[in-house]
Amino acid sequence: QVQLVESGGGSVQAGGSLRLSCKASGYMIRYNYNHMAWFRQAPGKEREGVAATYTQTGYTFYADSVKGRFAISQDNSKNTFYLQINSAKPEDTGTYYCAAGDTPSTATWYSESRYNYWGQGTQVTVSS
pLDDT in tens, 10-44: 999 999 999 999 999 988 887 766 899 999 999 99
CA dihedral 94, 112, 52, 55 (to 10 degrees): 140
Distance of CA 119 to the CA centre of its chain: 10
pLDDT tens for 62-98 read: 999 999 999 999 998 999 999 999 999 999 999 999 9
pLDDT at 92: 98
pLDDT interval class at 121 (50, 70, 90) = very high
pLDDT interval class at 5 (50, 70, 90) = very high
In terms of C-beta distances under 8 Å and separation of at least 24 residues, what long-range contacts does 52-58 make, across chains too? 52/109, 52/110, 53/81, 55/29, 55/30
> Rounded mean pLDDT of 103-117?
90
pLDDT at 95: 98
Q: Please check whether residue 80 is in contact with residue 100, taking contact to mean a CB–CB distance below 8 angstroms.
A: no
The secondary structure of residue 119, as a DSSP letter, is -
